[in-house]
Amino acid sequence: MPASRSVVIGVDSSTQSAKAAAVDADTGELLALGRAPHTVTGSAGARESDPEEWWTALAAAVRTAVREAGVPAASVTGIAVAGQQHGLVALGPDGRPLRPALLWNDTRSAPQAAALATRLGGPASWQDRTGSVPVAAVTAAKWQWLREHEPQHADATTGIRLPHDHLTERLSGTAVTDPGDASGTCWYGTATGAYDPDVLDLVGLDPALLPAVAPSGATRVGTLTPAAAEALGLPRTVAVAAGTGDNMAAAVGLGLGGAGLLDHPVVSLGTSGTVFAATRARPAAPGLAGFAATDGTYLPLGCTLNCTLAVDRFATLLGLDREDAAPGGDVVVLPYLDGERTPDLPRAAGLVTGLRHGTDPRAVLGAAYEGAAFTVLRALDELLAACGLDPAAPGVRDRPLRLIGGGARGRAWTETVRRLSGRPLVVPAADELVALGAAALAASAVTGSDPVALATAWGTGTGALLPPVPRDEETWNRIAAVLAAATPTLLR
């Protein structure tokens, strides 16, 4: 590829790893993908990572992507980071983290979230202000936890960043975020498009500690600093976009805009399970996160803590391959190994019921798939209802789901979602939609083009249509009954 061709880098900095996609900015062709792992530590609800490792992993992944793409470094023109949402990075006077980052799935902040939710007029007021009611995942609850449990670190903090903000600042030297990722903090007002001063006062946070909010994740915020250029092996002229959160970047990669309720609601199967749709309205419901999209429209989203990682844990415990599953039958598994966010059960543990002497271990694994898929699909029904649609109505039930994430590549996951949803599925042919969405943001920062239009032209969201199968009402109702009966115990 000649040096005059434009190559952009989209980075997906997730819970478990950094992935850097080298993409031809003209065609959207994925030229190469570099990867480097992240380490997550903690027990008893704690989940933490060292942000310095994120930076090292990003640099390693970018260098690998450029090398394996076989392109000269001079052909790289833009870069953008999409990061795991909600995490709290507390910076000291030297601009480096004071302690490991508190991650989105750290549930120690559940008491702080519950206390915050009762303030400022209660849950309905929070929804009106921020689009979301505080839960353990959100950054405001984590900051409150830090103030209460590690006041020495809170007092020493001179800057607060989300994971993608921190990496963007390391790249460009500019402290900036975007409306999409900022909307996951619970101190950004999706109604006003600005930080909410009442929330900041409530959690004792000086707004000077926060990054500026760029108009969109595609906004060009600068070019690589000399240190970043050296670490990545790229020219200093590379444009840096503001970037966004991982779910918002996946929406860009799918070509989702805010022109109305999405014809193809999205189900993402990863470490967490998420469901989302792009809208111009700002729907609000207690079990949903009323996020902004990276372009300032809206991305209402439901998130579960326990998805592929939890089911893989069951496979390991049973000594089975993850694909060696059978329908659960009488067995019901609620795989809430990390507590749960939707439904809001932060203290929950996993539950297995219906075992007999003759139970096939494959059925137990299949029931774990079913329990995780049920939780995600129930969140989808809540999302559709919040958008004013009846999930059971034929015209709504017939709409295909776009199934993305690592689980979408697994037969057991795909067939379980088909069986419990009764919907047709579209599984995009492109992998790494978060990184591809970030690449579209990077290309937009270079050219000024609309990133959703770019991704649509690239065709990254297209895929084969899998026809529906009859909905397994019996399994759905069995899981629903067990969850309803167990909830009082799971709340303890």
Q: Are 400 and 423 in contact (CB under 8 A)?
A: yes
Q: Tokens for 143? A: 């900051």
Out of 12, 106, 246, 344, which one is annotated catalytic?
Answer: 246
- CA 154/CA 52 separation, integer angstroms: 19
**Radius of gyration, CA atoms only, the chain:** 21
**Rounded distance, CA 370 to CA 216, Å?**
37
By DSSP bridging, strand 48-49 and strand 220-223 are unpaired
Residue in 84, 25, 95 with CA at minimum distance from that of residue 57: 84
Tokens found for residue 224: 């690589």
Angle, alpha carbons 340-198-258 (nearest 5°):
60
How do 17-24 and 30-37 pair as beta strands?
A: antiparallel
Instruction: Enumerate the β-bridge partners of residue 351.
Output: 334
Q: Where are the alpha helices (DSSP H) in 430-472?
A: 433-447, 451-458
DSSP E strands: which ranges in 145-187? 159-161, 176-177
Write down the residue that tokens 């519950």 correspond to. 114
Alpha helices in 346-432 (DSSP H): 361-386, 394-397, 411-421
246 classed as catalytic: yes
Phi, psi of 355 (to 5 degrees): -75, 145
- Catalytic positions, please? 246
